[in-house]
Structure 1
Amino acid sequence: MITLRPYQTKAIDDVFERWLRAVLRVLLVLPTGGGKTLISAALILRLLEMGRRVIFFAHRRELIKQTFAKLVRLGIPPELVGIVMAGVEGRCVDSIAPRPETLTDDELWRLWARRRPQAPVKVASIDTFRNHARPDADVIIVDEAHRALAKSYVDVQRAYPEAWHLGLTATPFRADGKGLGDAYDDLVVAATFAELVEQGFLVAPSCWGSKIKANLKGVRRSKGDYNADELARAVNRSELIGDIVDHYVRRGNDAPAFCFAVNVEHSRTLAERFNQAGIPARHVDGSTETSERDDAIAALRDGRVRVLCNCNVFTEGTDVPQVKTIILARPTLSEGLYLQQAGRGARPHPGSPPFVLLDHAGCVTAFDAPQDPREYTLDGRKKRDKTTVTLPPRKECPKCYALVPSAQRTCPGCEYAWPAAELGKETPMEKDGELELLVAGGAVNGRVLSELTHSEIKRLKDWAALVDTWRVENKERDARGEPLREHGWILYKWRETTGLDHAPKGARIPKLTPEQKARSQERRRVRRRRASSDRRAEHEAASTTPAASDESPAPEQLATVPVRPPAANHPASFTLPLRPAHGPLETWEL
């Protein structure tokens, strides 16, 4: 049996709490290395005890194999787990196979992974399932759910409209910046990267930029990211690749490393240059034979290989805790892709050197370090307000190219001291007037505070006073258990008092934290349900319609229907809420 961590137990409880409130489609967010597969295994165990039939979807063989092993390790008999994937045998040898607890994961897969059509739990390849008969299911779980708007996954949701749906991901957004609100109704953040680092379950990287930058001018965009062919031509250059190898020698701690390349040719070139420098390296891509890929990972674990160069192979579902250096050689516009790749080195491993992120792609300055705060939402990334000038969270040391927080005065890598004029946190503050500016280089539109006009300073002070009013009112509303005001209230009041449609330049627009937003949304839902119940009671009191008989169900009870007839190996019967898969929660009786 596997012991769950506190945040994993709470995440499972939060998911069930939403399902039992008839929120059928839930997205669970947890950073890479936080144990999403373990959470899903424990959740499936609880669902089996309730008599539910479950299908777990993944898009790669490694993820399916990993999930099957963890389900069995957690205590689910392998006889109850069927595999829906091409190449898996149908003939069972359960009666003569060695018991799972005596086997390695590879042996467990080889001896116990079978199709088992009648099993209550299915671990399915989404590609194989498209041409597969639809088995009965009460719960659908999707791994790497940032893919959930792809047609194959949308078809699954349509095939099981009344099932409970759960998506698992570390990055709840797509490359084009759009959210997953069309696929899921609510979001549960199990823990943040910083929280897991604080608890000792992940390690935060030190981040280093590069002296030689790729020239991406003229590289076109395609499907939310750079055009792969044009990007490869821009980065597959001798001087850039040589800098990557030198950077690993200087900063990589001689630790096992994943190097993420643009395409196959770029990855092969990188591996060749590492080998020429005396650093054992291999190349792996999507066409590499499974046995060769497994041997490459084993070689990385046991030290025969130091750097494993790849193209879109180890981005997802790869668990190699020995890896403590990540080389980003692939510039990207996708925050999700960057976080997936960077997270491959975050798992703790006894005796390993510190985690190092060598960023040759400009990702840290574009998307922040993995441990920096970020907001998760189903709505997607909002466009930056052009009227607000803000500092990037990370800056690059001009001497050693360390990527450090923008407010830091001295570089921890080389002790370089930034001039005061370049320090964002050196921005003048007028405490008596509660004036706060968060602007590049301590300036508004290139001018320091002393150069601003009286009217500009007055507008900034008026804005700061309005923000203070918003914060005080929200504190009082929170104490009374009322929904909190969004930041749009500040803009509305600003427009009402000044006639301006935007905040003053250089001003800071505050936002509710994810926790505050979730708490506020829940209170609004409760308020709407209460108002709906009151209106219904008034209508019934005024109605002349005869009262329902004693045998009629209470109006606040959900209608329930049997999901399936009890199977021979599943005597337990159960019911699920009868309601459409999509629609506002407040319109349904709970």
Structure 2
Amino acid sequence: MLLRPRQKLFVERSLRALDEHGNTIAVASTGFGKSITLSAVIAGSIQGTKAKACVLAHRDELTSQNRDKYRRVNPQLSTSVVDAKTKNWAGQTTFAMVQTLTRPANLAAMPKLDLLVIDEAHHAVADGYRRIIDRARDANPDCRIFGVTATPNRGDKKGLRSVFDNVADQVRLGELIASGHLVPPRTFVVDVGVQDKLQNVRKSVADFDMGEVAEIMDHAPVTDEVIRHWKEKAGDRQTVVFCSTVAHAENVAEAFSAAGVATAVIHGDLGAEERRHILAAYASGKTRVIVNISVLTEGWDHPPTSCVVLLRPSSYKSTMMQMVGRGLRTVDPGEHPGVLKTDCIVLDFGTSTLLHGSLEQDVDLDGREGSGEAPTKECPDCEATVPLAVMECPLCGHLWERDEADGPTELSEFVMSEIDLLKRSSFRWCDLFGDDAALIANGFVAWGGVFFLNSRWHGIGGRQKERPRLLAVGERTVCLAAADDWLNTHESDESAHKTRRWLNQPPTQKQLQYLPAEYRQDFGLTRYQASALLSFRFNRNAIRSLVFGADNGGRTVRNGDAIGRAA
């Protein structure tokens, strides 16, 4: 398995920070692949040694997910698990549940560690985590601490400085949108006549007073306006709604249902089995809208969700980003047939966007290219070392003022400026017909391609002796990212032959034997171009079937659509 170039840079910076400081936190938004990069950092720290590592998580599904990804990235390294059922430290890397490990007997049995990794590292200053960290450092003062999170700023305002004194890297939502790994949000701030009242709501220790918010928002005329705007802008989309209180959520769900929209409500007072049933109905598409109260902000994703409705303000930008992030995942057509998703509608009735600035304005796209050291600066409040482009300190929340002369970075400035995946990819992408409408890259056992049909791009991946599969439909960047990730998943460093000399050699006679006669007279044709053309020809019928199927099968192929060619 290969890492994306940006993931490799993230790993390099994390390892360098660990070497320099003995601890570091790395911040990466939803969709970046934290489990994969976390696994690569561990391998870079312990591979070839007898060092032991432990990965902490606070939920069973995170422990399982991290271990599965770790085995894919590091199949040669042994693993073990410490959870409610198993207490095994035999592996070189152990995946542990925090709730289990904090029990005195389990903590006493923890062996000497050389590396302690904390997933969702914004929890690191909680008491249970601190007991584990202190135990690890008592047993080995040289134990290094590595944390990863998407949202470092905590609701209780506790800084992370007591555990981490530097930030190795920060990958923002805007960077992942520009690279095609998330869809862009289209944010609408909607005033239903209550914005002035919301701006005067008192703040509690952790957030705004949600009781006061409910008194303002939980009224039929307000809810009716919410539903009207939702129908107008996003009525055919699966939607997640964030409310202030249980009563508010139940009233909103009842209003959606009365309007003929299949709706469910979920909150923390429901039993685990009932919550699973509700989420399963939403995942199956039986439910169009799911209304919640702080249940679906972290650790939950349903990629077809393409609308987020905010009926509550948020005093912390990280909470707003978590809520909006539920709708930014791209869709795998193999898992969700017939679902086309190119953006996410965000309907903000709760003033969070006005308070914090839109997600689009708070991104900095500098520093994505190249490798080596990331430029840094020191936070004036907590003295942490952080990346130069950061405008909000991930450890203490200090805000730097953006230069007014620079102005905000609007969404329109970067969503259409595609990161050149063709250059950054580990593989060489071949323009099959010279018009940039059909591209293929080959590995040893897999190939990826992007094809244009009827104003849409289609990403397709194939492997030897397997039928190709549809990876993505929509924007070119999303399809390129999906096809490149397919190759990264199924190939290795040995097969990433972008710069190998043989690529530019003339085709072999066997290759020419399978190509149309006109290619035998093309003396500029290279061996790699011939390989890409053969991948297309051998899989042409399957590619056509996938693309036409995704395009509803009945539309006429335009002359410019490469997939319709008989080459």
- With the shorter chain as reference, the TM-score category is 0.5 to 0.7
Preserved contact between residue 82 and residue 100 of structure 2 (Cα < 8 Å): no
Which residue, 142, 145, 159 being the options, matches 1:165?
A: 145
Preserved contact between residue 82 and residue 88 of structure 2 (Cα < 8 Å): yes
Greater mean alpha carbon deviation, residues 29-38 or residues 64-73: 64-73
**In the alignment, what sits opposite 1:69?**
68
**In the alignment, what sits opposite 2:344?**
355
The alpha carbon displacement at 1:117 in A equals: 4.2
Q: Write out per-residue CA displacement over residues 105-137 of structure 1, whole angstroms, 9 at most, x where no aligned residue.
A: xxxxxxxxxx43433333333233221522122
**In the alignment, what sits opposite 1:373?**
362
Q: Write out per-residue CA displacement over residues 242-294 of structure 1, whole angstroms, 9 at most, x where no aligned residue.
A: 22222221112522222112232222222222222111121222243444433
Following the alignment from structure 1 to structure 2, what is the Cα–Cα distance between the partners of residues 187 and 300? 37
Matched, 1:310 2:292: yes
Following the alignment from structure 1 to structure 2, what is the Cα–Cα distance between the partners of residues 41 and 242? 48
Q: 1:393 to 1:281 in 2, by over 3 A?
A: farther
Matched, 1:120 2:92: yes
Q: Write out per-residue CA displacement over residues 299-323 of structure 1, whole angstroms, 9 at most, x where no aligned residue.
A: 3233111112122222112232211
The amino acid of 1:3's aligned partner reads: L
Q: Please show how residues 133-144 of structure 1 align to structure 2 within 5 Å.
A: 133-134=106-107, 135-136=110-111, 137-144=113-120
**In the alignment, what sits opposite 2:266?**
284
Following the alignment from structure 2 to structure 1, what is the Cα–Cα distance between the partners of residues 39 and 178? 25
**In the alignment, what sits opposite 1:198?**
178
Larger strand proportion, structure 1 or 2?
A: 2
Matched, 1:364 2:353: yes
Matched, 1:52 2:32: no
Structure 2 unaligned regions, length at least 5: 334-339, 364-390, 414-567
> TM-score, length-normalised on structure 2?
0.59
Following the alignment from structure 2 to structure 1, what is the Cα–Cα distance between the partners of residues 31 and 209? 29
Preserved contact between residue 56 and residue 143 of structure 1 (Cα < 8 Å): yes
Q: 1:293 to 1:42 in 2, by over 3 A?
A: farther
Matched, 1:230 2:217: no
RMSD between aligned residues: 3.2
Q: Write out per-residue CA displacement over residues 357-402 of structure 1, whole angstroms, 9 at most, x where no aligned residue.
A: 11111111221222323524255334688xx9999959xxxxxxxx
Matched, 1:43 2:37: no
Following the alignment from structure 1 to structure 2, what is the Cα–Cα distance between the partners of residues 18 and 256? 41
The amino acid of 1:20's aligned partner reads: D
The amino acid of 1:367's aligned partner reads: H
**In the alignment, what sits opposite 1:434?**
none
**Larger-gyration structure (1/2):** 1
Q: Write out per-residue CA displacement over residues 448-505 of structure 1, whole angstroms, 9 at most, x where no aligned residue.
A: xxxxxxxxxxxxxxxxxxxxxxxxxxxxxxxxxxxxxxxxxxxxxxxxxxxxxxxxxx
Q: Secondary structure at the match of 1:52?
A: coil
Q: 1:346 to 1:383 in 2, by over 3 A?
A: closer
Q: 1:58 to 1:255 in 2, by over 3 A?
A: same
Q: Write out per-residue CA displacement over residues 35-67 of structure 1, whole angstroms, 9 at most, x where no aligned residue.
A: 212222333344553433222222234433432
Give the fraction of aligned pairs with identical amino acids, expressed as a percent. 25
Q: 1:166 to 1:376 in 2, by over 3 A?
A: farther
The alpha carbon displacement at 1:30 in A equals: 0.9
The alpha carbon displacement at 1:218 in A equals: 5.6
The amino acid of 1:11's aligned partner reads: F
The alpha carbon displacement at 1:197 in A equals: 1.6
Q: Secondary structure at the match of 2:163?
A: coil
Matched, 1:274 2:272: no
Following the alignment from structure 1 to structure 2, what is the Cα–Cα distance between the partners of residues 73 and 377? 33
**In the alignment, what sits opposite 1:254?**
236
Q: Write out per-residue CA displacement over residues 513-535 of structure 1, whole angstroms, 9 at most, x where no aligned residue.
A: xxxxxxxxxxxxxxxxxxxxxxx
Q: Secondary structure at the match of 2:42?
A: helix
Q: 1:365 to 1:68 in 2, by over 3 A?
A: same
Following the alignment from structure 1 to structure 2, what is the Cα–Cα distance between the partners of residues 253 and 392? 34
The alpha carbon displacement at 1:354 in A equals: 2.4
Q: Secondary structure at the match of 1:232?
A: helix
Following the alignment from structure 2 to structure 1, what is the Cα–Cα distance between the partners of residues 156 and 235? 35
The alpha carbon displacement at 1:13 in A equals: 1.6
Q: 1:248 to 1:81 in 2, by over 3 A?
A: farther
Q: 1:240 to 1:67 in 2, by over 3 A?
A: farther
Following the alignment from structure 1 to structure 2, what is the Cα–Cα distance between the partners of residues 226 and 69? 38
Q: Please show how residues 201-212 of structure 1 align to structure 2 within 5 Å.
A: 201-212=181-192
The amino acid of 1:199's aligned partner reads: S
**In the alignment, what sits opposite 1:186?**
166
Structure 1 unaligned regions, length at least 5: 91-114, 395-403, 408-590
Greater mean alpha carbon deviation, residues 47-56 or residues 184-193: 47-56
Following the alignment from structure 2 to structure 1, what is the Cα–Cα distance between the partners of residues 254 and 64? 31
> TM-score, length-normalised on structure 1?
0.56
The alpha carbon displacement at 1:333 in A equals: 0.6
**Deviating runs (4+, > 6 A) in structure 1?**
388-392, 404-407
Preserved contact between residue 79 and residue 95 of structure 2 (Cα < 8 Å): no
Q: 1:68 to 1:272 in 2, by over 3 A?
A: farther
Aligned residues: 368
Following the alignment from structure 2 to structure 1, what is the Cα–Cα distance between the partners of residues 257 and 207? 30
Q: 1:193 to 1:384 in 2, by over 3 A?
A: closer
